[in-house]
A = this chain, B = another copy of it.
Amino acid sequence: MDISHWRNRIDVLDRKILKLLNDRARCVLALVPLKKKTGIPIYEPDREAEVFRNISENNGGPLSAEAVKRIYERLIDEMRSIQRGPKQ
């Protein structure tokens, strides 16, 4: 296996990750009107704790729990931004 073999695999994985990130963003956007209707705020610490618990309990590595948490902090931050909509 040479370098280009692994890089090709990484490129394929990145396109899959990107697709799932956008799928997740669509779910997050679908939540906006439901949250508005029920008066739930965009930022919900209990739900975020649940998201972090889900990923830490299911992390088989080699990424450490801390590494995964840092990636997810960024990811959740972006998801919160799209729920808030474009800045005025």
Contacts and interface: CB of A to CB of B under 8 A. Distances in A.
Could you say which interface size class chain A belongs to? 35 or more
A24 B20 contact: no
A35 to B, nearest CB: 7
Interface string A1-44: 11100110111011111111111111111110011001010000
A25 B63 contact: yes
Interface of A: 1-3, 6-7, 9-11, 13-31, 34-35, 38, 40, 47, 51, 54-55, 58-64, 67-68, 70-71, 73-75, 78, 81-82
19 contacts: A3-B31, A3-B35, A6-B28, A6-B30, A7-B47, A10-B24, A10-B28, A14-B24, A15-B54, A15-B55, A17-B20, A18-B58, A21-B68, A22-B62, A26-B62, A62-B82, A64-B82, A70-B74, A71-B78
